Amino acid sequence: MEHSLAQLSIAEAAKKLQAGEITSVDLTRACLVEIQKRNGALNAYLEVFADAEAQAKAADEVRAASVSKGESVSPLLGIPLAIKDNILVEGRVASAASKILEHYTATYDATVIQKLKKAGVVFLGRTNMDEFALGGSTENSAFGVTKNPSDETRVAGGTSGGSAAAVAAGMALGALGSDTGGSVRNPASFCGVVGLKPTYGRVSRFGLMAAVSSFDQVGPLAKTVADAKILFDAIQGVDPLDSTSVSETLYAPSPLKKKIGVPRHLLGEGIEEGVRAAFDQTLAELEKNGFELVDIALPSISFALATYYITNFAEVSSNLSRFDGVRYGLSKKGDSLVSDYAKSRGEGFGPEVRRRIMLGTYVLSAGYYDAYYGKATAARTQLSTELSAVLSGVDAIATPTMPFPAFAIGAKSDPLSMYVADIFTVTANLTGNPALSVPMQTESGQLPVGIQFIAAHGAESTLFTLGAAVEEATHKVA
């Protein structure tokens, strides 16, 4: 795609649209050409909307009308985006990549979609994911794995693998994903794009299918940090339809300290050498640019994965109990009402979803509740306290986003080996802090890997500053 418009960032495209050099129809067609070329192999989109060009034409008309009236427009007007399949768009199928919702049509717009519609975005299609956002590689989709645009024998990451692959391959200018334990940052790292998990509550979840309600956040995937900011600005904000959403002013702004905390005790074994080298080099570049590196310790992080998964299982088993074949979705008939439920759920849910529901049922059962869920909530509080203390002294905590680059499809068939790959990402979900993954400089021919920054609650702007500093350093080296 040498000279394709699909290569443009959102900011660049918005400038060209504004200047009248290109139209949204041009941009949308350029993305559709890339989709035509690569989606067959990559399986990033589960569905490409047939009316994408019509939406672009409408956006061009809105622009023409606004220009003639001298009104300013959103930087997202006419920008073609991809949407993860667990975010509701009225009148479109929303399956969460599950057989149980294969033919389910959304009855209303998610708040984030309403906001993007108001901005005049072009929706290209819905993207592949791990079923109900449970996984870390998009291999748990009921509709086939999404492949990594850098190497088609490897996974795109997950659970927002389709969204990340679509952006990386120029099949969309940006995308929305959702992040429960790293589901935006993990595929961003594997595919070489930017991914943001906002502060818990900064983005409304009305119309996002609930996986783990105390972790879930909608987040943008983009080519640049500036684009991630444009998308975040467009979707954030308090929403009366989501009682967990918070206002921008809830958290006091913290001035930049130019200090980055590095938990060296976490960076020992288990991290691939190339990732480690890229991480050290990125930190060295930031140090050269005036950031002080501070050694920090997070002792409770040794419990983070166990705490995360217990909470995940518990909330998933509860949230997914709504899928029973009675009101919508796959409905199978057994010989009683209870067997109707069991048949619909048994056939509708894939293996990982079934496993997690059963694990959640176990950890919440009377005899085990205190030993698992009770302990997990205590560990979660302890970790939050530690993280807050550390973040009062530094702007952000830096780690690699993932301990390794994208792995081969099928390489992690054992569920536990997949879970432990989330070591760096789950903390921000446990504590509700915002976190950003930005591609690091790698040797040519190497697979993409990301650096992750975790900042204080409400400090997305700090993350954008740090992310831009990494981009600057990366371009300098390149």
Three-class SS state of 194 = strand
> How far, CA to CA in Å, does 164 sit from each of 1, 93, 157, 352, 457?
18, 20, 8, 22, 25
Candidate segments 67-75, 195-203, 381-389, 469-477, binder of another protein by CB under 8 A: 381-389
Task: Give the per-residue SS3 of 149-168.
Answer: CCEEEEECCCCCHHHHHHHH
Q: Least distance from C-beta 329 to another protein, angstroms?
A: 8
363 lines the binding site for another protein (CB under 8 A):
yes
Q: Least distance from C-beta 320 to another protein, angstroms?
A: 9
Strand partners, 293: 260
Q: Least distance from C-beta 177 to another protein, angstroms?
A: 24
* Dist CA 78 CA 28 (whole Å): 8
Nearer to another protein, 200 or 453 (CB): 200
107 lines the binding site for another protein (CB under 8 A):
yes
Burial (CB count within 10 angstroms: exposed 0-12, middle 13-18, buried 19+), residue 342 = middle
* Dist CA 255 CA 259 (whole Å): 11
Scan residues 257-286 and list those touching another protein (CB under 8 A).
none
Residue with tokens 């795109």: 156
Residues in binding contact with another protein, number by CB under 8 A:
68
Q: Which string of x and - marks every residue 314-353 that binds another protein (by CB under 8 A)?
A: ---x---x--xxxxxx-x--x-xxxxxxxx-xxx-x-x--
372 lines the binding site for another protein (CB under 8 A):
yes
Scan residues 395-424 and list those touching another protein (CB under 8 A).
414-416, 419
> How far, CA to CA in Å, does 289 sit from each of 95, 192, 258, 426, 478?
46, 23, 10, 29, 16
AA identity, residue 135:
G
Q: Which string of x and - marks every residue 52-91 that binds another protein (by CB under 8 A)?
A: --------------------------------------xx
* Dist CA 468 CA 120 (whole Å): 26
Nearer to another protein, 274 or 415 (CB): 415
380 lines the binding site for another protein (CB under 8 A):
yes
Candidate segments 77-85, 142-150, 263-271, 363-371, binder of another protein by CB under 8 A: 363-371
Q: Least distance from C-beta 152 to another protein, angstroms?
A: 29
Concatenated DSSP letters of 252-298: PP-----EEEE-GGGSSTTS-HHHHHHHHHHHHHHHHTTPEEEE---
Nearer to another protein, 4 or 382 (CB): 382
What residue spans of 131-238 are helical by DSSP H? Answer: 161-168, 185-191, 225-235
251 lines the binding site for another protein (CB under 8 A):
no
* Dist CA 338 CA 130 (whole Å): 27
Candidate segments 5-13, 103-111, 228-236, 268-276, binder of another protein by CB under 8 A: 103-111
Q: Least distance from C-beta 350 to another protein, angstroms?
A: 11
Asked if 20 and 14 count as a contact pair (C-beta separation under 8 A), the reply is no
Scan residues 157-196 and list those touching another protein (CB under 8 A).
none
Among 200, 303, 407, 464, binds another protein (CB under 8 A): 303
Nearer to another protein, 67 or 338 (CB): 338
Which residues are at the interface with another protein (CB under 8 A)?
90-91, 104-105, 107-108, 240-241, 243, 299-300, 302-303, 305-307, 309-310, 317, 321, 324-329, 331, 334, 336-343, 345-347, 349, 351, 354-355, 357-363, 365, 371-372, 374-382, 384-385, 414-416, 419
